[in-house]
Structure 1
Amino acid sequence: MRSGEELDGFEGEASSTSMISGASSPYQPTTEPVSQRRGLAGLRCDPDYLRGALGCLKVAQVILALIAFICIETIMECSPCEGLYFFEFVSCSAFVVTGVLLILFSLNLHMRIPQINWNLTIFGFLATAVYAVNTFLAVRKWRVSVRQQSASDYIRARTESRDADGRPEVQRLDT
């Protein structure tokens, strides 16, 4: 049998008895255990969200926005293209934004970013849409007023040219 000195091991080495008990060993674990990673490896699709009303609505929005964008891209020629360009922008933007939201909600990524209140964010998108409609209506009203102004200028100019025949102080060049 070994003596007590032999059980302690070599100088500077922990003894087998102290490693078992762990209380008197100078070699205590200094790091914390590794927690589960929160990276992209744990992504799973949430079928309950996709089967629910909100998920079905998001899928329908993405599909319809994609179809609208494809349809607008098939037009080869247009004469007043401003409305066409606006529709192209809106359909492409709707496809991208709604697609990103569908991915966020179906993969539960919104739960990993608790600093953002996602319900209020959706209301922010709605407010942005309302402002966009307001801007569109304001521009349309402005264009109508510009057209009316140019039409009234044309009518005024025509009226003044007719009145020149009746005024003796205006001489006609063709006589």
Structure 2
Amino acid sequence: MRGTGDDMDGFEGEASGTSMVSGASSPYQPTTEPVSQSRGLRGIRCNLEYIRSFYGTLKCIEVVLSLFAFICIETIMECSPCEGLYFFEFVSCSAFVVTGVLLLLFSLNLHTRIIHINWNLTDLVNTGLSALFFFISSVILASLNHRSGAEISATVFGFLAFITYSINTFFAFRKLKTDSRSQNVPQTSDYIRARSESRDVEYRPEIQRLDA
């Protein structure tokens, strides 16, 4: 009977040791995922250098002008006809939202985490379309000529937004061309280097003999 107790003690010791080993190697262990999430949140920071830069300043001006134009057009109580007013309202609101989202992405460096989007091209399309639509909607609103203070203010902010977006479109186009050229230069140099190495191999038959 005593031997049985010793055997039981040994069995319990082996079982506890086995459970400790299996627990140590078990895949169902507490992970550091919350820590990694907190590190990801800490990585989001305000990029003051972009806000103070030329492009960041243009973005801030565009957001402010679009917001003021939208506020002014919303204060108009009477309109006849109203199609031009509704179009200007849509343009100013859309420009404010889209440009505000891009400004937020660029200011917090969130665009660097989405690498599948050409952000330079996205910015160029946004500024180009906003400039075009602000010009058209401002001309239509000015042609109504109701001479109300809110309508005149909205028209002025609309033309100012058109000028700002046009400037941004010009520089965004230049930036896109510069980036595309800088990307093509390394590819061209790599191609030339590969061609020169292949020619060296062709004109040096002793290397081919050693390889054979």
* TM-score normalised per structure 1: 0.55
1:1-150 alignment runs, 5 A limit: 10-14=13-17, 27-28=24-25, 30=27, 34=32, 36-37=36-37, 41-42=41-42, 43-126=44-127, 128-129=129-130
Structure 2 unaligned regions, length at least 5 = 1-11, 141-212
For residues 116 and 39 of structure 1, the distance between their equivalents in structure 2, rounded to whole angstroms, comes to 24
Which has more helix, going by share of residues? 2
For residues 62 and 134 of structure 2, the distance between their equivalents in structure 1, rounded to whole angstroms, comes to 18
Letter of the structure 1 residue corresponding to residue 37 of structure 2: R
Are the structure 2 counterparts of residues 110 and 39 from structure 1 closer, same or farther at C-alpha, using a change threshold of 3 Å?
farther
Aligned residues of 2:63 and 2:99 also touching (Cα < 8 A): yes
For residues 59 and 67 of structure 1, the distance between their equivalents in structure 2, rounded to whole angstroms, comes to 12
Alignment match, 2:153: none
Between the aligned residues of both structures, percent identity stands at 51
Query: 1:70: how far off?
Result: 0.8
Query: 1:132: how far off?
Result: 5.2
Are the structure 2 counterparts of residues 87 and 101 from structure 1 closer, same or farther at C-alpha, using a change threshold of 3 Å?
same
Instruction: For residues 109-143 of structure 1, give each alpha carbon's deviation from its aligned partner in whole angstroms, at most 9, with x where no partner exists.
Output: 11121121211212332454577589x69xx9xxx
For residues 41 and 74 of structure 1, the distance between their equivalents in structure 2, rounded to whole angstroms, comes to 40
Query: 1:29: how far off?
Result: 6.2
Aligned residues of 2:95 and 2:130 also touching (Cα < 8 A): no
User: Which runs of structure 1 show a deviation greater than 6 angstroms over 4 or more consecutive aligned residues?
Assistant: none
Letter of the structure 2 residue corresponding to residue 60 of structure 1: I
Letter of the structure 2 residue corresponding to residue 79 of structure 1: S
Are the structure 2 counterparts of residues 104 and 70 from structure 1 closer, same or farther at C-alpha, using a change threshold of 3 Å?
same
Query: 1:83: how far off?
Result: 1.8
Q: Which has the higher contact order (CA 8 A, sep 6+)?
A: 2
For residues 133 and 58 of structure 1, the distance between their equivalents in structure 2, rounded to whole angstroms, comes to 15
**Alpha carbon RMSD of aligned pairs, Å?**
3.6
* TM-score normalised per structure 2: 0.47
Aligned residues of 2:91 and 2:133 also touching (Cα < 8 A): no
Structure 1 unaligned regions, length at least 5 = 1-8, 20-24, 141-175
Alignment match, 1:145: none
For residues 133 and 46 of structure 1, the distance between their equivalents in structure 2, rounded to whole angstroms, comes to 29
Are the structure 2 counterparts of residues 29 and 103 from structure 1 closer, same or farther at C-alpha, using a change threshold of 3 Å?
same
Larger Rg: 1
Letter of the structure 2 residue corresponding to residue 58 of structure 1: K
For residues 49 and 84 of structure 1, the distance between their equivalents in structure 2, rounded to whole angstroms, comes to 34
Are the structure 2 counterparts of residues 133 and 75 from structure 1 closer, same or farther at C-alpha, using a change threshold of 3 Å?
closer
Residue aligned with 2:73, SS: helix
